[in-house]
Structure 1
Amino acid sequence: MFSINKKLFSQKRNINILLKDNTILLQKRLFSKNLRLKNTTQYRKPEFSTEPPKYDANDNRRRLKQMLTFGACALIGYTISANYSFMDLITIYTSSNNSQDAKDYKIKLQAKLIHLPIVKQLSKTGFVEIIGDKTDASNGYDLLNELGGVAIPPKSYYNPQTKKLVDIVHIGMKLQGYPFMLHGGVSSDIISQFMIKSLKFDDNGAEVKNYQLRDLKVDYKAPVFVNKFIVLRLTNVERIGKTLAKCNVEVYSENGKNLLMKGKGKFAITKNKK
């Protein structure tokens, strides 16, 4: 009996070993087969058709992008052509300050300045136009006084009640930094010159003083485009003794509504030596 059980146990053990070996062999075969399939490149026979091509969603998006790009370029071109005529560009870059074309261009700018809506608004709110010279207060911007810069004298307005000064200045094509936008350094120069002009106008005229810029901070609120008028408003003047003065200025677009820049300046005051 013991011998029979021993034979059955040995047979069962042999069967388990065979099954285990077969399973391992089968796994190896499957692995090698999958490896061969991965390394095998399958070629698909090209299909030819006479039907018109079908456009998917990607093609429609590409067409939409092309249309939007074309529309944007057309809008930019229209804006440039509406604000920068070809003859104006030729006059600015090829003519001298004393040529007839330059004179006609300045007359055109002066006529446009007179008809700005902000001119009527200032007259209705108590501002009076400054005519003549008061310690060079109605001049200024000498560094930029050329064709394509500040080509025409600015219009200056003063409110006797609030003691606030306003300048309307035309900035030309030659003052651009990035295309069609006012250069940052030039904008700082315009603001500082307006501050000096305001401080001189605020003097009582008893003695002539010099103002030397010590510190200037300009806060840019929006892009400033060239070949446009800008409105500079004096907001506050603070005098610290007899040697220092502070001045705050705001710069608006030609309609007087859109704030473009804010400036804060500090000046040292010196008396002219006789």
Structure 2
Amino acid sequence: MQRVIAGIAAATVIMSVTASPAHAVPAAHVVAADPVTALKRQFVAGIGVRFTDVSTLIEFVGNTSFLKRTGSFQFGPAGMVASDVTATLNDEAIPRIPISLVGMLRSKDRTIRIGTTSYYSGGPWAAPKGKTWLKHPHGMSAGWGGWCSQLVNVAEAATLKALITRGKRTGRTYAGAISFGALEKVSPWLRNATMVKMSADTKAAVLRFRLTVGADQLPQRLVTDYPASTHGGVAAGEEGRRISVETNYTGWGNRVNIKAPPASEVAVIKRARLG
């Protein structure tokens, strides 16, 4: 009798072990161990994320929010493949903002970028009559507003890794600093944020960041700030000015389909990178 009971018990254990994989949690619902792994799991064709951000000039006399943006990133198996960004300038803030910061901005502009090709609507370059968009084969990441807004793109795995590596973790928040030069090395987004090459002084400038991720380890909120001097000359007494940008991310894993504008609405511009 004891042998029968032992045999039944052994069979029960074997059935339990072999049956357990059928009850495993699907991979899509498994929380990643770290933000970079979580981000790479988003790299699926037609999947993306949306964001909003606000740029603010910080100075001794107070803070002035001067630029708001909304946009989305679309992924492919290897990472980000397209972006669509609309920037709106706060016209009331113009008298309080240095000309070096807003000189090339307009009230509203939109940039669609697919691969390395950018399509601009609005902004400083007016499209010819009958056209709405200007196409640049190697254009800026997010138009002229891109250089005055969020320069850190956590939708890039290498960029996110750089922040996580340098940041001190408290709960689900990573806080730290990185130089523009170090960020430029890993981030195509930053390398293409402007038509002008970075100066040695700009590369040496330090950008501070505070990144908060969700329970799923994906970025939720990113706040960066850096010296306003990176965007041009600073007048005497204004050396302490800084630019702060707060970006919030929503809709990770949702469908995103970014398309080029209709060819009939596009004019091609040929302009070499400045600097």
With normalisation by structure 2, the TM-score equals: 0.30
**Structure 1 or 2: larger helix share?**
1
Q: Which has the higher contact order (CA 8 A, sep 6+)?
A: 2
With normalisation by structure 1, the TM-score equals: 0.30
